[in-house]
Amino acid sequence: MKINAKKTLLLIIDVQNDFCPGGALAVNKGDEVAAPLNDLSRALVSKGGRAAATQDWHPEDHISFASSHNGKNPNDIIDTPLVKGQALWPNHCVQGTSGADFHNDLDLKPVSVVIRKGFRRELDSYSAFFENDRKTATGLDGFLRALDMKTVVIGGIATDYCVFYSAMDCKREGFNTIIASDAVRAVGYPEGSEEKAVSAMKREGIQFSSSQMLLDALL
Ligand code: VGL
Ligand code: ZN
């Protein structure tokens, strides 16, 4: 495998304190994605590529928080005016709080663009491309096309939610899409959600590669 760095963007999904051990929506070993992502972003950017990071960025009364609905609990599923089948979560990644900050281990120096998502009270977003109404664009698609990017390497949190939706949209938008397999971690709820997400991504033609293989492939 060879990858032209100048046509490649590393997309770092939601490496934020609330998704790491000790956070409000902690993902097991979520912080471990930082080291391989740092290696990838530094190498890619030094060879003329780009790195972008997403940041889950919710108002304190966000519609995806169970606390915003009477009698609802995290993991319940509801229909909202804009989204059928929205899962409810504990309060997390509230705008301006330390839980919403990027994890300290993540090197932001090579990251030239940050995409914030889920920032409107009435709409959640898992994907880095389209919010959960599947219509509202974040602008990442235009950014990639303006830079004539062909390949997007994706890592971060969580494999079965934001990484999954981002990768599926990325592939559908026509980009060569590769998951850095050692740089993702999963929520794992409901049971089997990680395996389900991985097989759906593979079925879609999304590739999986270790960060070391990707580093070796960069031209
Ligand atoms: C995420 C649940 C709620 C994620 C964000 O980053 O995967 N999951 N908000
Ligand atoms: Zn969220």
Q: Using CA atoms, how far apart are residues 22 and 182, in angstroms rounded to an integer?
A: 21
Q: Using CA atoms, how far apart are residues 26 and 18, in angstroms rounded to an integer?
A: 6
Tens of pLDDT along 47-98?
Answer: 999 999 999 999 999 999 999 999 999 999 999 999 999 999 999 999 999 9
Q: Which of 117, 160, 169, 182 is catalytic?
A: 117
Task: Specify the DSSP element, H or E, that contains 102.
Answer: none
Distance of CA 202 to the CA centre of its chain: 17
Q: Is 24's C-beta closer than 6 angstroms to any atom of ligand 1?
A: no
158 CA: nearest ligand 1 atom: 7
Tens of pLDDT along 129-143?
Answer: 999 999 999 999 999
Q: How many CA atoms lie within 13 A of 78 on its CB side?
A: 21
Residue 162 falls in the annotated catalytic set: yes
What's this model's pTM, rounded to 2 decimal places?
0.97
DSSP three-state, residue 95: coil
